């Protein structure tokens, strides 16, 4: 027992002080992209051609990046003119699918729930996680939120085992045909009013499995989504930031 207490004192306080203090992420972390289309010569589509998943678009509206499709592989950052670069900013979550279309003016981050929903969920939010054919990367990084570093419970947010005990669902994976019925049944089992959160590129738009014959390109065409958390997978701080913004805690 004494050795345990000594080790606990040696380790000190390990829980992050987020959101009071900003997290320190490694320099190699790929966060919010930054677009500078003014550097692009007319007709250049090098970054569009380099993107393997159609996330980068250049049309009459200019240069845009769909964060819902982006896997943060940084292939587009090979632009010889420096029109695309990845920053260290972990804040990526958005309220609507349209808000994930990143343009030169910068991101439109998640907004708080309406007053009635905040009164219900602002201090206590229970979520049922549904892995709809995910690869387990998003699932693992959501699971990390329960560790002492992030301590999701201190914000009144918890993952629960039954949808009947939940206030909403958080979906990962591209939603395979085999998981479609289970996902819809889980959603129906959650008492109204309820929330739906799409976590990861697969849940938002199908990810690398997009347009596959056995997937539904994410949850957006099946259920009304209240929060989109981009990434492949989303960093735990990205997920936590999005959840806190939804609850008006950021």
* Res. 13 pLDDT band, cuts 50 70 90: confident
> Residue 213: which domain range?
115-246
Residue 164 lies in a domain: yes
Residue 89 lies in a domain: no
* pTM (two decimals): 0.92
Residue 59 lies in a domain: no
At residue 5, the pLDDT reads 79
**DSSP secondary-structure letter at 146?**
G
* Res. 90 pLDDT band, cuts 50 70 90: very high
Q: Which of 49, 48, 73 is nearest to 62 (CA)?
A: 48
Q: Residues 61-79: what's their mean pLDDT?
A: 87
Going by DSSP bridges, is the β-strand pair 195-199/227-229 parallel, antiparallel, or unpaired?
A: parallel
In angstroms, rounded to a whole number, what is the distance separating the alpha carbons of residues 122 and 113?
A: 9
At residue 242, the pLDDT reads 97
Is 137 in contact with 109 (CB distance < 8 Å)? no
Between 118 and 54, where is the model more confident?
A: 118
pLDDT digits (tens, 9 = 90+) for 124-139: 999 999 999 999 999 9
Residue 74 lies in a domain: no
In angstroms, rounded to a whole number, what is the distance separating the alpha carbons of residues 104 and 48?
A: 15
Q: What's the sign of the alpha-carbon dihedral 96, 97, 100, 102? A: negative
Has residue 147 got a pLDDT over 80?
Answer: yes
Has residue 54 got a pLDDT over 90?
Answer: no
Q: Which of 226, 229, 238 is nearest to 121 (CA)?
A: 226
Q: What's the sign of the alpha-carbon dihedral 202, 206, 212, 214? A: positive
CA-to-CA dists, residue 80 to 22, 47, 75, 76, 187, angstroms: 32, 9, 12, 10, 46
At residue 78, the pLDDT reads 80
Residue 226 lies in a domain: yes
In angstroms, rounded to a whole number, what is the distance separating the alpha carbons of residues 107 and 92?
A: 8
In angstroms, rounded to a whole number, what is the distance separating the alpha carbons of residues 114 and 93?
A: 17
Has residue 113 got a pLDDT over 90?
Answer: yes
Mean pLDDT taken over the chain = 91
Has residue 80 got a pLDDT over 80?
Answer: no
Has residue 79 got a pLDDT over 80?
Answer: no
- The domain total for the chain is 1
pLDDT digits (tens, 9 = 90+) for 169-200: 999 999 999 999 999 999 999 999 999 999 99
Is 129 in contact with 173 (CB distance < 8 Å)? no
At residue 46, the pLDDT reads 81
Compute CA 155 distance to the chain's CA centroid, rounded to the nearest angstrom. Answer: 18
pLDDT digits (tens, 9 = 90+) for 20-49: 999 999 989 999 999 887 887 777 878 888
Residue 38 lies in a domain: no
Q: Residues 7-28: what's their mean pLDDT?
A: 86
| Helix or strand (DSSP H, E) at 7 | helix 2-11
Residue 194 lies in a domain: yes
At residue 175, the pLDDT reads 96
Straight-line distance from the first to the last Cα atom of the chain, in angstroms, rounded to the nearest whole number: 40
Which CATH number belongs to the domain containing residue 219 in this structure?
Answer: 3.40.50.12280
Is 32 in contact with 91 (CB distance < 8 Å)? yes
Share of the chain above pLDDT 90, in %: 70
Share of the chain above pLDDT 70, in %: 100
Residue 82 lies in a domain: no
Has residue 58 got a pLDDT over 90?
Answer: no
pLDDT digits (tens, 9 = 90+) for 229-243: 999 999 999 999 999
Has residue 19 got a pLDDT over 80?
Answer: yes
Q: In what order do the strands lie in the sheet with 195-199?
A: 157-159, 125-131, 168-172, 195-199, 227-229
CA-to-CA dists, residue 205 to 54, 112, 216, 231, angstroms: 11, 23, 9, 11
Between 74 and 188, where is the model more confident?
A: 188
């Amino acid at each position: 027992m004494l050795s345990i207490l000594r080790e606990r004192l040696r380790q000190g306080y390990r829980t992050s002080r987020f959101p009071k203090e900003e997290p320190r992420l490694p320099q190699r972390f790929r966060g919010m992209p930054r677009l500078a289309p003014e550097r692009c010569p007319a007709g250049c589509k090098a970054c569009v051609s380099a993107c393997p998943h159609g996330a980068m678009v250049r049309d009459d509206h200019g240069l845009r990046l769909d964060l819902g499709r982006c896997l943060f592989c940084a292939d587009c950052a090979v632009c010889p003119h420096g029109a695309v670069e990845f920053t260290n900013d972990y804040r990526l979550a958005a309220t609507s699918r349209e808000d994930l279309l990143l343009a030169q003016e910068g991101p439109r981050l998640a907004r708080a729930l309406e007053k009635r929903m905040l009164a219900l969920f602002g201090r206590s939010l229970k979520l049922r996680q549904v892995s709809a054919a995910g690869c387990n990367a998003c699932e693992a990084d959501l699971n990390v939120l329960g560790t002492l570093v992030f301590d999701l419970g201190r914000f009144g947010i918890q993952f629960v085992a039954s949808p009947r005990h939940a206030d909403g669902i958080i979906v990962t994976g591209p939603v395979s045909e085999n998981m479609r019925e289970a996902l819809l049944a889980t959603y129906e089992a959650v008492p109204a009013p309820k929330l739906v959160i799409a976590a990861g590129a697969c849940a938002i738009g199908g990810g690398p499995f997009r347009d596959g014959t056995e997937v539904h390109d994410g949850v957006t065409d099946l259920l009304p989504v209240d929060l989109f958390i981009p990434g492949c997978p989303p960093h735990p701080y990205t997920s936590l930031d999005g959840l806190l913004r939804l609850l008006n805690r950021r």
